């Protein structure tokens, strides 16, 4: 998902509850939430060196320093600059360096060149953050009511970047042949629950509603809420595990054209893909997996992650030999199935550390939120009635609505509080540096 949340598009989007100006408690809560969210971003980067935070490992990723500064630029511009009289920019050049907005309009080479910015340093960017944080906290109590929803937007924007920050850092560290660990190895030593075979959980068919209902924050692309008509279906109680994925590999899954979408088959062959991202085969044939805590032996009970839509789809095709008609769920099937699951449940990001998916026991619909984003078979396209804000200058989520697929549910790197059933994450079918996995579905 691109960072693409620009102020003009937002007010037309999904509702944000108005914060009454006379409610001191709400204001205080907002300040606390601001502090907490901003602090987590800093915590996530606490173990990064100046160099770690500067290098860009691929065009799709951004340096940690850029995430730190860009989110800060958002607060500085849309709160301090626009709503605090007399505020002067911390540094005049930062808006150019850390503003994703101008990129679309201007020089297309900017994005892949983000890793060239060795100065300002990580410490200077931290100073920038601290400066802006102080000023925001001072400003909140006196902000005009109309500006308060921007705080909500800024917090959600920051949370999105927290997840990207983790996945971008992981991608960078994976380029280093020494496989450095950011955090000490998490204890994976406990005996793993035996993973039982898939149980199929029937979902609600017929007419249901999906999409954001306007209560609480949502991005514009999540609405309007609308009815969908579903045929009888079931979802797997859990996502596919590393162990099951190994069977797919050992059965030659990556080498059989018939399982693959045509574009996926091209991708597999051109990129010589033979396993999920971050898997490395040792000289003895065993598999290790690179994570934020370095290289560890593959845990077969964990959900498979870092797979592309192409891989998820090929797996479903392969699995249909066992489960007739196995396929990816549609976005609507997933969303109606998740309607009664608490979005802040599950394995989500609470604090900095060696984030990784965990095994789930299954049996009932488990792991819907958190753990791994779940690829759906739904193209990321507008909902009926979706309309870019009239008169909006520039960008909106709708501009990304070609060629991408929807993922649902959130991952172990999604900050708790950021998930909801209507959330529409989206990536191109070949991308896989997010914690992306797959839950099977089938007609019944």
Residues 388-407 that bind a copy of itself (CB under 8 A): 388, 390, 392-394, 399-403, 405
Reading the block at residue 152, the tokens are: 């909500």
Q: Which residue has the tokens 């193209």?
A: 379
DSSP string covering 10-65: STTSS------TT-HHHHHHHHHHHHHHHHHHHHHTTT--TTTTT---STT---HH
Q: How far is the CB of 52 from a copy of itself (least distance, A)?
A: 5
Nearest approach in angstroms of CB 258 to a copy of itself is: 6
Binding to a copy of itself (CB under 8 A) within 227-256 occurs at: 227-231
Q: Report if residue 377 touches a copy of itself, rule: CB under 8 A.
A: yes
Choice from 25, 191, 194, 258 touching a copy of itself (CB under 8 A):
258
Q: For a copy of itself, how many residues bind (rule: CB under 8 A)?
A: 78
User: Could you say which residues in the range 277-336 bind a copy of itself, by CB under 8 A?
Assistant: 309-310, 313, 317, 320, 324-325, 327, 330
Other beta carbons within 10 angstroms of residue 53's beta carbon come to 23
CA dist., res. 424 & res. 409, Å (int): 8
Residue 37, classed as helix, strand or coil, is helix
Report if residue 261 touches a copy of itself, rule: CB under 8 A.
yes
User: Which lies closer to a copy of itself via its Cβ, residue 122 or residue 195?
Assistant: 122
| Helix, strand counts (H, E) of the chain | 11, 12
Q: Is 17 in the site for a copy of itself (CB under 8 A)?
A: no
Q: Where are the alpha helices (DSSP H) in 122-186?
A: 122-139, 148-174
- Least distance to a copy of itself, CB of residue 399, Å: 5
Rounded distance, CA 5 to CA 75, Å? 13
Q: Which residues between 409 and 428 bind a copy of itself (CB under 8 A)? A: none
Question: Cβ neighbours of residue 167 under 8 Å, at least 6 residues apart?
Answer: 61, 413, 433, 434, 435
> Least distance from C-beta 367 to a copy of itself, angstroms?
25
Nearer to a copy of itself, 36 or 274 (CB): 274
Rounded CA-CA distance 227/250 in Å is: 42
Residue whose CB is less far from a copy of itself, 97 or 147: 97
Going by DSSP bridges, is the β-strand pair 441-443/425-427 parallel, antiparallel, or unpaired? unpaired
Q: Which is nearer to a copy of itself, 54 or 337 (CB)?
A: 54
Q: CB 165 → a copy of itself: shortest distance, Å?
A: 15
Question: How far is 408 from 402, CA to CA, in rounded Å?
Answer: 18
∠ Cα 120 31 67 (to 5°): 25
411: which 2 tokens? 């991952």
Q: Which of 411, 427, 442, 218 is nearest to 330 (CA)?
A: 442
State in angstroms the smallest separation of the CB of 180 from a copy of itself.
5
**Binding to a copy of itself in span 125-184, by CB under 8 A:** 172-173, 175-178, 180
95 binds a copy of itself (CB under 8 A): no
First to last CA, the chain: 32
If the CB atoms of residues 173 and 279 are measured against a copy of itself, the closer one turns out to be 173
Binding mask 29-48 for a copy of itself (x = CB under 8 A): --------------------
Residues 45-64 that bind a copy of itself (CB under 8 A): 49-55, 57
Name the residue nearer to a copy of itself (CB basis): 367 or 388. Answer: 388
Contact segment (CB under 8 A) with a copy of itself among 92-100, 142-150, 184-192, 298-306 equals 92-100
What's the gap between Cα 351 and its chain centre?
Answer: 16
Number of residues assigned to the chain? 444
- What are the structure tokens assigned to 306, written together? 């870092």
| By CB under 8 A, residue 262 contacts a copy of itself | yes
Q: Which residue has the tokens 């630029």?
A: 73
């Amino acid at each position: 998902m691109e960072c693409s949340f620009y102020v003009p598009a937002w007010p037309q989007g999904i509702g944000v509850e108005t914060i009454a100006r006379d409610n001191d408690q709400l204001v205080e809560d907002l300040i606390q939430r601001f502090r907490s969210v901003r602090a987590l971003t800093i915590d996530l980067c606490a173990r990064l060196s100046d160099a770690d935070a500067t290098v860009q490992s691929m065009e799709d990723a951004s340096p940690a320093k850029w995430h730190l500064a860009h989110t800060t630029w958002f607060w500085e511009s849309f709160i301090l600059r626009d709503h605090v009289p007399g505020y002067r920019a911390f540094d005049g050049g930062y808006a150019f360096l850390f503003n994703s907005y101008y990129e679309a309009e201007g020089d297309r080479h900017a994005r892949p060149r983000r890793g060239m910015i060795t100065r300002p340093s990580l410490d200077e960017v931290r100073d920038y953050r601290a400066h802006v944080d102080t000023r925001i906290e001072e400003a909140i109590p006196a902000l005009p009511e109309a500006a308060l929803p921007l705080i909500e937007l800024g917090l959600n924007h920051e949370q999105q970047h927290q997840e990207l920050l983790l996945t971008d850092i992981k991608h960078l560290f994976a380029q280093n042949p020494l496989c450095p660990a950011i955090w000490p190895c998490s204890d994976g030593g406990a005996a793993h629950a035996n993973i039982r075979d898939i149980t199929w959980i029937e979902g609600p068919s017929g007419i249901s509603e999906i999409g954001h209902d306007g209560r609480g924050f949502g991005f514009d692309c999540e609405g309007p809420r609308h009815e969908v008509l579903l045929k009888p279906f079931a979802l797997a109680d859990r996502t596919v595990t590393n162990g099951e994925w190994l069977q797919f590999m050992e059965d030659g899954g990556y080498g059989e054209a018939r399982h693959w979408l045509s574009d996926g088959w091209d991708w597999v062959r051109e990129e010589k893909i033979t396993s999920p991202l971050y898997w490395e085969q040792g000289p003895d044939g065993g598999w290790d997996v690179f994570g934020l805590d370095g290289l560890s032996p593959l845990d077969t009970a964990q959900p498979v992650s870092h797979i592309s839509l192409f891989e998820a789809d090929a797996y479903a095709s392969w699995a249909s030999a066992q489960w007739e008609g196995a396929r990816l769920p549609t976005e609507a099937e997933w969303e109606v199935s998740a309607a009664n699951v608490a979005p802040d449940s599950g394995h989500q990001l609470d604090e900095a550390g060696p984030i990784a998916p965990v095994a789930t026991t299954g049996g009932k619909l488990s792991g819907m939120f958190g753990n791994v984003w779940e690829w759906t078979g739904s193209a990321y396209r507008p909902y009926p009635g979706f309309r870019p804000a009239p008169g909006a200058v520039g960008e909106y989520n709708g501009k990304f609505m070609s060629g991408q697929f929807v993922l649902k549910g959130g991952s172990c790197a999604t900050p708790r509080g950021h998930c909801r059933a209507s959330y529409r994450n989206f990536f191109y079918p070949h991308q896989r540096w997010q914690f992306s996995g797959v839950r099977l579905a089938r007609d019944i």
